[in-house]
Structure 1
Amino acid sequence: MLAGFTPWPEEQAQRYREEGYWQDVTIGGLLTTWADAHGDAVAVTAGDRRVSYRELDGWAHRLAGGLRRLGIAPGDTVLLQLPNVVEFLPVFFALCRIGALPVLALPAHREHEIGALAELTGASAYVIADQDLGFDYRELARQVRRRAPGLQHVVVAGDAAEFVPLASLDAPEGAGGDAGVAAGADGSGPAPARPDAEDVAFFLLSGGTTGQPKLIPRTHADYAYNVRASAEVCELGRDTVYLAALPVAHNFALGCPGVLGTLHAGGRIVLTTDASPDTAFALIEREGVTVTALVPPLALLWMQAVEWLDDDLATLELLQVGGAKLPAEAARRVRGTLGCTLQQVFGMGEGLLNYTRLDDPDELVATTQGRPLSPADELRAVDEQGREVAPGEAGQLLTRGPYTLRGYYRAGEHNATAFTPDGFYRTGDLVRLLPNGYVVALGRTKEVINKGGEKVAAEELENELLAHPAVREVAVVPVPDPDFGERICAFVVAPGVGLGLAEAVDFLVERGLATYKLPDRLVVVAALPLTTVGKVNKRALTDRLAAEAVG
């Protein structure tokens, strides 16, 4: 078993096996199963590229051999930071097949985040694109290697410069793979044994109050269940055409049901790195897209864009919205503006998923965030003393189940407080659990700002701003926003210096902070308000912002 991984207790694991939630399948093996079932049907589209199920499976098989020859071994961690390009899928499946552990980094992450991940995981390899949306990931790789010299290999999709071209790893058949095919006489030895279904398959990333990366271990068995159950709830089939508008490295677009759920159902994926209405609407019309998933700010933008764009969206049947709460008023407008069914999704990379169902009444869809995916999901809402609240009352959400982690990777100290003694995960979400089983999300109980679905830890941004030579004190608080849910305001004490937002943002960008973590507003104050015990009174700061908004 992987050191640093917290398994499910055997009694519950046995229950999940017996009740069919966990099956003897691996992520890499699933692709072969899907290829056998769907053969020459198109699996994925990106621009003019069309790749069939059979081609995708063969591509992943060859890359598995090439990665092994490069020196990637079972148990190695590999940072995988690719945008929504076709190469993401075969690389992901290839790593899962050889028992390596991909760490799914988001395209927006920069040196601050990737460097910390490289140090935490001891990653031996880093897979990137050459450039995307004007950003050069090869320069990022150079920065990360200076920070983490143990990063032996950088593999690049596209112009590799001094690094390893991904295309050079497209090895001949028989060089490796999930089924244990002999590796051939190239010095790599026999292919590794098939991973166990209950082994860790890959890592997702979690936000948190400190901003330090926490790794979510997802096993083959638990994530395979996550994918097939989500595809069933969302009623995907061979006619499904799924537009991956959000990064596929994010849990929502990866397997809820996302690209993996679409492959499970025999549908077709359409990839894009640009979710703007101009690009996305044209793709919906051209490719006959039936399903997509968005965060609330994008959903709101799309609903506005139908007024000035004339693309035909008639094929769009289902819009999933998650990552943050969609206001009920906006939810009620989806069908009338975009002409499709809305599905609210409330979940987390740590596991638990809640979906409204496709036959739910419109008002239930507009006013709740759905009910649990699995009959085996256990949910509690508790007060500050850990006592369960009455149904319908607000409380912190605790959960456990067949696809919810039992501990973050290599985070024993944090796990001691993030989980109850009986294994419930303390989500940090404030909810109301309704008597009908549906969940109403109310916000966060911790200092995490939810900016349009991106989680920003206040403490992390405060620490970065404190590194500015002019800043003596800082407090970061959320600002309610009708489009993004929350934006970021930084109150700073900077005596004698006319520090402005532009200068602060330039400083943070220079330090390698991801752009979505940058403050939207900066307020210079003479002093920060304090509570009676001497702590910064953030409530007073948020009240000040609220008063200014009213005034």
Structure 2
Amino acid sequence: MSNRLHFTMGQLLDDIANRFPDNDALVYADQGLRYSYLEFNALCERVAKGLLALGVRKGDHVAIWATNVPQWVVLQFATAKIGAVLVTVNTNYKSVELEYVLKQSDATTLFLVSGFKDTDYVETLYSVVPELRDAGPGQLCSERLPFLKHVVFLGDRQFPGMRCWSEMESLGRDIEDAQLAAIASSLDEHEVINMQYTSGTTGFPKGVMLTHHNIVNNGFNIGECMRFTEKDRLCIPVPFFHCFGCVLAVLACVTHGSTMVPVETFSAEVVLRTIEAERCTAVHGVPTMFIAELDHPNFGRYDLTSLRSGIMAGSPCPIEVMKRVIRDMNLTEITIAYGQTESSPVITQTRTDDPIELRVATVGRALPDVEVKIVDIENGQTLPPGRQGELCTRGYLVMKGYYKMPEETARVIDGEGWLHTGDLAVMDENGYCKITGRIKNMIIRGGENIYPREIEEFLYSHPKVADVQVYGVPDIKYGEQVMAAIKLKEDTVATAEEIQDFCRGSIANYKVPRYVKFVDEFPMTASGKIQKFKLREMAIKELNLEAANSVETA
């Protein structure tokens, strides 16, 4: 029996605002900002009208490059109410990556904050689109980004060529409710509404096209696994630009009338303070976040007794960390979720009432209405319980495809609709899965997916680099770190620092190799294929990473 929801995201928010009008929807404790569901829905509608006045139409691609600011969540629903596709941009991106995503996505509009960490977003955008400085708002004509017309700064400061956020509400004042309602009623739940960029299984980042139906239902089932109700309050320190933030957090809450309590940028103490101040019943995080919270010197000062559940996901979860979280943070019903952006994203999740050994040593079983099978990587045959193979999934959660990349889409979704994850797993007779490795060479560092080829292609542009192989090595804090083995051109010398400095400012900091090794040759098979696993094995010995490599995870 299917319990699927058949809402667009706009209809979902309307429904919840009608059912729980006075419930807190969105709370930023440190900013004194608190919207009920009635107020939040009204704000989203005002901004949706502002988007229409700006010229944004159904099917247009609207990019957002921002930390977990309140406007992010508003835009997630405002764009959905008019059928515009929200393109999420990684906050760690630099100029090369920003230009790639804006160009590949055909984004017509960009919303951005002033910056994050060491990156000035405004100056970065001007470097990519110099024409913006001299353009009137909405008059941008860029040679490199021909689709981009509008840039809106998520604040009150005025920048050349940009509008500011306050205009988004005032712009739409002349648009009638009936016009917005007519657009909303014309939308279909199976239309694309969200585009997340992921390295997928090969090559450069791809735009994963997700529909209302994909993410509304995934969010609902995730919340069901945590036993969410309108009484729950979720602390959200994970970034909105990931599915972890905008689906596992935002949509898990909104589908249940629960309260969203975001943290703008991660800080262990701010998370602890927020949980206590808002009496949060749940908190999400990647393992590194939970470790930082547990190890914070002021950990013992905070009252976490309101906590009950949440999700640890994003990278393999060390079993000992899960045990500490359950014991020391009162998260007796915490769950582990596993999936990938292409599956909206959660495929399997543990349940709150699972025995502790299943909740710490597996990534759970399939969500409702989701099929999972393990197949032989050689012949594609379905394997019996206990045998290792590739994890495949099918159902409402599978993406529409990669934007403008039909061949890449066909590589991961087969003719019968099965999404091939590229992950190795073992499933027991009750359907509980343990992820055992990856067929692909993806590096997962602190919840960030990193595809080696992208870094290799960039390093090839260094004048001294003849050949390069990038791979992941184990790390106790982040799960994995990036390592580069480099063959230099003849008669050149270089240092690790030189290579790292070359990367900084051009590619995201998390992609900059933590370790650089100079080699004369690479280990190869008889047919000439480079064996990255041997490079990894050598690095574990040379860098004394045996302890990190032995950390047991689900």
What is the TM-score of this pair, normalised by structure 1? 0.90
Conserved 8 A contact 1:377-1:402: no
Deviations 1:6-51 (A, max 9, x none): xxxxxxxxxxxx944251x211222122222222332111222112
Number of the residue aligned with 1:15: none
Residue identity matched to 2:205: P
Number of the residue aligned with 1:27: 9
Matches of 1:176 and 1:440 in 2, distance apart? 52
Conserved 8 A contact 2:209-2:400: no
Number of the residue aligned with 1:8: none
Number of the residue aligned with 2:61: 77
Deviations 1:287-322 (A, max 9, x none): 112111111122222222267652222212124110
The correspondence of residues 62-461 of structure 1 with structure 2, limited to 5 A, is: 62-133=46-117, 135-145=119-129, 147-158=144-155, 159-162=157-160, 163-171=162-170, 175-176=174-175, 181-182=178-179, 194-256=186-248, 258-305=249-296, 309-341=300-332, 342-351=334-343, 352-461=346-455
Number of the residue aligned with 2:504: 509
Alpha carbons of structure 1 residues 176 and 56: separation in structure 2 relative to 1, 3 Å: farther
Matches of 1:174 and 1:348 in 2, distance apart? 40
Number of the residue aligned with 1:39: 21
Indicate yes or no: 2:483 matched with 1:499: no
Residue identity matched to 2:268: P
How far the C-alpha of 1:501 sits from its partner, in A, is 2.9
Deviations 1:234-279 (A, max 9, x none): 11122211111011221122222x1222122222211212322222
Alpha carbons of structure 1 residues 524 and 309: separation in structure 2 relative to 1, 3 Å: farther
Matches of 1:96 and 1:281 in 2, distance apart? 32
Residue identity matched to 1:143: S
Matches of 2:236 and 2:92 in 1, distance apart? 16
Matches of 2:88 and 2:418 in 1, distance apart? 25
How far the C-alpha of 1:498 sits from its partner, in A, is 4.0
Of residues 472, 484, 505 in structure 1, which corresponds to 2:466?
A: 472
Indicate yes or no: 2:45 matched with 1:53: no
How far the C-alpha of 1:440 sits from its partner, in A, is 0.5
Matches of 1:183 and 1:480 in 2, distance apart? 51
Conserved 8 A contact 1:99-1:201: yes
Residue identity matched to 2:20: H
How far the C-alpha of 1:538 sits from its partner, in A, is 1.9
Residue identity matched to 1:518: V
Conserved 8 A contact 1:259-1:269: yes
Matches of 1:83 and 1:550 in 2, distance apart? 33
Moved more, 467-476 or 371-380: 371-380
Deviations 1:451-490 (A, max 9, x none): 1221111111111111111111111121112222211110
How far the C-alpha of 1:433 sits from its partner, in A, is 1.2
Number of the residue aligned with 1:521: 515
Deviations 1:324-373 (A, max 9, x none): 11122322222222221231111122224211110111111111011111
The correspondence of residues 476-487 of structure 1 with structure 2, limited to 5 A, is: 476-487=470-481
Give SS of 2:197's match: strand
How far the C-alpha of 1:209 sits from its partner, in A, is 4.2
Give SS of 2:450's match: strand
Conserved 8 A contact 1:141-1:154: no
Alpha carbons of structure 1 residues 36 and 160: separation in structure 2 relative to 1, 3 Å: farther
| Structure 2 unmatched runs, 5+ | 131-143, 547-554
Residue identity matched to 1:28: G
Give SS of 2:535's match: helix
Deviations 1:203-242 (A, max 9, x none): 1222234441212222112322112222222111222111
How far the C-alpha of 1:201 sits from its partner, in A, is 1.6
How far the C-alpha of 1:173 sits from its partner, in A, is 7.0
Matches of 1:302 and 1:384 in 2, distance apart? 43
Give SS of 2:76's match: helix
Residue identity matched to 1:499: A
Conserved 8 A contact 1:406-1:423: no
Number of the residue aligned with 2:139: none
Conserved 8 A contact 1:306-1:337: no
Give SS of 1:510's match: coil
Aligned alpha-carbon RMSD (Å)? 2.3
Alpha carbons of structure 1 residues 153 and 173: separation in structure 2 relative to 1, 3 Å: closer
Conserved 8 A contact 1:479-1:489: yes
How far the C-alpha of 1:375 sits from its partner, in A, is 3.4
Matches of 2:117 and 2:348 in 1, distance apart? 33
Matches of 2:261 and 2:531 in 1, distance apart? 47
Moved more, 235-244 or 165-174: 165-174
What is the TM-score of this pair, normalised by structure 2? 0.89
Moved more, 427-436 or 88-97: 88-97
Residue identity matched to 1:420: D
Moved more, 219-228 or 422-431: 219-228
Give SS of 2:301's match: coil
Matches of 2:518 and 2:229 in 1, distance apart? 55
How far the C-alpha of 1:502 sits from its partner, in A, is 2.7
Matches of 2:222 and 2:184 in 1, distance apart? 31
How far the C-alpha of 1:133 sits from its partner, in A, is 4.0
Matches of 1:313 and 1:380 in 2, distance apart? 39
How far the C-alpha of 1:130 sits from its partner, in A, is 2.5
How far the C-alpha of 1:496 sits from its partner, in A, is 4.2
Conserved 8 A contact 2:472-2:536: yes
Indicate yes or no: 2:519 matched with 1:530: no
Residue identity matched to 1:260: L
Matches of 2:119 and 2:306 in 1, distance apart? 33
Residue identity matched to 2:46: R
Conserved 8 A contact 2:94-2:119: no
Residue identity matched to 2:153: V
How far the C-alpha of 1:515 sits from its partner, in A, is 1.4
Conserved 8 A contact 1:473-1:492: yes
